[in-house]
Amino acid sequence: MAKLDYRLISFHAYETRKKLGADENSPIDIEDLVLSNTDYTLIYKPMSENISGLCIKEGNNKIIAINSNSSKGRQRFTIAHELCYLYYHDDGIYICSSKIDDEKANDCEREADLFASYFLAPESAFYSDYMMLANSKNDLEHICIKLEQKYGLSHMATLIRLKMSKLINEREYIKAQTSPIKLANSLGYSTDLYLSTKKNTTMGRYISLAKELLDKDRISIARYQSLLLDGNRQDLVAGDDLNAEID
């Protein structure tokens, strides 16, 4: 297994944040950020539990599909992971495992996981937040929750990052692998991060392209509606009967 170049991957994450219009250090709404770029289609769909998502890259056309059964934190991580493929790999289809930090995973997968971690939680900001929390006598459980809530990372991704940055040891890493929900609740945080909150839906280029085809009379209204339905966008299809089916 090749050794990953942490500094280069961290730089790639920084470079991609800049390309998408985010600053160097702030927590981000990754869905908004990606959708602000018109090349992207985001598809949320239930998938089998060993897959976190996939991406398809074909020139400027970039599609990211996310397993909607996973938690919001995990979904955010998947989008960031796929960005690594979309910016630093050739055109193609990449299907991604749900295991993070899997020692058996190939180097591209490990690289994309690391990229995702740095993308969501930039190195210097994450480190200085950790030091501030540790210096004000927070225990590891509290530190984890505060960091993952700030950067929108899943609990596991946060622990892996802390271990990788040598801020916690193996024993602490294993001990902290408990459900964060109760403590997050008691600290007044929303627990959305730990739950799957997404409906099945499609957003971005696919939808705007369908509308463009309709507006230019390239497709009929019926075809337009069927494209919206294929993308699970019943909400955009006119007609109360269809809307009544939702929820």
Applying CB under 5 A, which residues contact Zn ion? 96, 109, 112
- The Cα 111–Cα 170 span in angstroms is 21
Cα 35 to the chain's mean position, in Å?
Answer: 13
Q: Which residue, 30 or 112, has its beta carbon nearer to Zn ion?
A: 112
Contact predicate 204/41, CB 8 Å: yes
**Paired residues of 96 in beta bridges:** 53
- The Cα 51–Cα 151 span in angstroms is 23
The enclosing H or E element of 114 equals helix 107-120
Output the smallest distance, CB 226 to Zn ion, in A.
31
DSSP 169-200: -HHHHHHT-S--HHHHHHTT--SGGGS--PPS
Q: What angle do CA 41, 93, 20 make, to 5 degrees?
A: 40
CA dihedral sign of residues 83, 33, 100, 143: positive
Q: Which residue, 51 or 164, has its beta carbon nearer to Zn ion?
A: 51
Q: Which residue, 50 or 186, has its beta carbon nearer to Zn ion?
A: 50
Output the smallest distance, CB 55 to Zn ion, in A.
8
Q: Which residue, 164 or 167, has its beta carbon nearer to Zn ion?
A: 164
Output the smallest distance, CB 198 to Zn ion, in A.
19
Output the smallest distance, CB 3 to Zn ion, in A.
19
Q: Which residue, 28 or 96, has its beta carbon nearer to Zn ion?
A: 96
3-state class (DSSP) for residue 37: coil
3-state class (DSSP) for residue 40: strand
CA dihedral sign of residues 235, 240, 241, 244: positive
Closest CA to 1 of 91, 111, 99: 111
Q: Which residue is nearest to Zn ion (CB)?
A: 96
Output the smallest distance, CB 183 to Zn ion, in A.
30
Output the smallest distance, CB 94 to Zn ion, in A.
6
Output the smallest distance, CB 39 to Zn ion, in A.
19
3-state class (DSSP) for residue 234: helix
Q: Which residue, 109 or 148, has its beta carbon nearer to Zn ion?
A: 109
Q: Which residue, 31 or 109, has its beta carbon nearer to Zn ion?
A: 109
Both tokens assigned to 231: 């993308």
